[in-house]
């Protein structure tokens, strides 16, 4: 049995988008641009208007060309007599997007933007206001805290860190204990992603304030964890071996239970992730049904594109042949996807869902309208998943 979920609010359709698509040309933008909420303090650019266009501006009098690289397209900026380059993009999808400027072909961050780690670099990001942004907005409600937790990993022989969200009531009652959600980022991102781009803390603050979700701890660690290489392996450029599953089970979870007031059993433990993190989540869940009762994959499953593919036909691999027993152990299995995701992701998620259907494994599925493989899809995924977990 599966459940269809409609927790997502449909994105508004801008008629002018169709005009641009049909004509192949851009019309003059509506002049109601405002500084983006992701700008550095006091910076006027970049800006976003009501059409969801982005206007960039940069002082570079010696440059021969400047382009805005955003959403897979490059937009030429025009220089005025003062050496200031300015230009606009076509309308963008709602949500958060990475971007950069190209100065004479060299890719650089925009000095007006805050910097975020994503796409394998520390660089610029911009927020295009979403019609349903209320669920992750900063509001006058009680707020939890995010703390940096540094630890030494024996498995990787390196210092690592995770960020830990504790809910608003955590400091009030020193005897109260809490369930834990382990929340993973995607490829070419790190442990800062869910706290910065994902706004996980604000999503939970608002859900808790509205009494839609249980107060919980969220642990956000770095999904890149490799076994130390020997000198011979380094000399031969051997491929690094990921040990993230072992780090999660043998180091992160025990450390969290030791340092924080957790309820340290599977009934009060959840794991979720996006894209690469969804792949890791599903694999960890497969091998550790004694550790987690709630599981979610946002834009990804165990047969994640670009990895050592796990054939959905043999997914159970002798472990989950009895769907009924899986349903008794996994209280919530959640999958979600953006409707504009690139081809590999709907295919892999679709194959995974077909396997679950054949095995009669219960799951919830939801789609984020008009978003691709991006943070608004994943914010909406967390927003849908969090209210379902740790309920009596």
Is the Cβ–Cβ distance between 386 and 330 less than 8 Å? no
pLDDT at residue 233 in the model:
58
**Residue range 224-235: mean pLDDT, rounded:** 77
**pLDDT tens per residue across span 263-316:** 999 999 999 999 999 999 999 998 899 999 999 999 998 775 554 444 545 554
What is 32-128's CATH topology?
Answer: Immunoglobulin-like (2.60.40)
* Closest alpha carbon to 68 in 31, 112, 14, 27: 112
- What are 122's two structure tokens? 């520390």
pLDDT of 17 above 50 = no
Please, which residues bridge with residue 221 across strands?
162
Stronger pLDDT, 19 or 168, i.e. the higher one: 168
Stronger pLDDT, 311 or 88, i.e. the higher one: 88
How far apart are the C-alpha atoms of 96 and 98, rounded to whole Å?
A: 7
How far apart are the C-alpha atoms of 71 and 99, rounded to whole Å?
A: 7
- Cross-sheet strand order for the sheet of 47-48: 34-35, 47-48, 54-59, 84-88, 78-79
**pLDDT tens per residue across span 361-382:** 999 999 999 999 999 999 999 9
Is the Cβ–Cβ distance between 220 and 164 less than 8 Å? yes
Please, which residues bridge with residue 147 across strands?
164
pLDDT at residue 241 in the model:
87
pLDDT at residue 145 in the model:
97
* Closest alpha carbon to 267 in 295, 294, 296: 294
Please, which residues bridge with residue 98 across strands?
125
First to last CA, the chain: 21
373: helix, coil or strand? coil
pLDDT at residue 66 in the model:
98
DSSP 8-class letter at 242? B
Is the Cβ–Cβ distance between 124 and 113 less than 8 Å? yes
Locus of tokens 């209320």:
134
pLDDT at residue 321 in the model:
66
How far apart are the C-alpha atoms of 311 and 316, rounded to whole Å?
A: 10
Cβ burial of 387 (10 Å; 0-12, 13-18, 19+) is middle
What is 134-388's CATH topology?
Answer: Rossmann fold (3.40.50)
- What are 7's two structure tokens? 């927790």
State the span(s) of the chain assigned CATH 2.60.40.10.
32-128
State the span(s) of the chain assigned CATH 3.40.50.1820.
134-388
Percent residues over pLDDT 70 in the chain? 86
pLDDT of 36 above 70 = yes
Is the Cβ–Cβ distance between 55 and 45 less than 8 Å? yes
Model pTM score: 0.89
Please tell me the least confidently modeled range out of 14-28, 255-269, 326-340: 14-28
**pLDDT tens per residue across span 126-168:** 999 999 999 999 999 999 999 999 999 999 999 999 999 999 9
């Amino acid at each position: 049995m599966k459940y269809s979920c409609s927790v997502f609010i449909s994105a508004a359709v801008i008629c002018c988008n169709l005009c641009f698509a049909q004509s192949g040309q851009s019309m003059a933008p509506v002049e109601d641009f405002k500084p983006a909420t992701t700008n550095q303090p006091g910076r006027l650019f970049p800006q976003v208007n009501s059409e969801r266009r982005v206007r960039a501006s940069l002082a570079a009098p010696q440059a021969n060309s400047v382009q805005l690289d955003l959403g897979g397209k490059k937009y030429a900026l025009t220089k005025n007599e003062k050496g200031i380059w300015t230009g606009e993009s076509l309308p963008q999808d709602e949500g958060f997007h990475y971007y950069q400027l190209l100065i004479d072909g060299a890719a650089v961050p925009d000095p007006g933007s805050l910097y975020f780690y994503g796409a394998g670099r520390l660089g610029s990001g911009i927020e295009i206001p979403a019609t349903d942004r209320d669920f992750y907005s900063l509001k006058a409600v009680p707020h939890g805290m995010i703390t940096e937790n540094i630890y030494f990993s024996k498995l990787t022989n390196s210092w690592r860190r995770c960020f830990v969200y504790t809910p608003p009531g955590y400091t009030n009652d020193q005897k109260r204990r809490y369930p834990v959600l382990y929340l993973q980022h995607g490829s070419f991102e790190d442990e800062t992603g869910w706290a910065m781009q994902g706004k996980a803390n604000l999503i939970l603050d608002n859900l808790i304030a509205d009494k839609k979700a249980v107060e919980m701890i969220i642990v956000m660690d770095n999904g890149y964890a490799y076994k130390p290489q020997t000198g011979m392996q380094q000399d031969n450029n051997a491929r690094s071996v990921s040990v993230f599953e072992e780090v999660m089970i043998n180091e992160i979870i025990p450390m969290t239970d030791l340092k924080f007031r957790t309820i340290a059993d599977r009934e009060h433990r959840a794991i979720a992730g996006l894209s690469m993190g969804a792949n890791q989540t599903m694999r960890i869940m497969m091998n550790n049904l004694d550790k987690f009762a709630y599981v979610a994959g946002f834009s990804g499953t165990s047969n994640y594109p670009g990895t050592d593919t796990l054939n959905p036909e043999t997914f159970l691999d002798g472990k989950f042949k009895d769907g009924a027993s899986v349903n008794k152990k996994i209280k919530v299995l959640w999958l979600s996807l953006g409707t504009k995701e690139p081809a590999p992701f709907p295919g892999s998620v679709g194959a995974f869902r077909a396997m679950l259907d054949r095995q009669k494994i219960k799951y919830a599925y939801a789609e984020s309208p008009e978003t691709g493989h991006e943070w608004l899809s994943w914010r909406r995924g967390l927003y849908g998943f969090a209210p379902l977990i740790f309920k009596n």
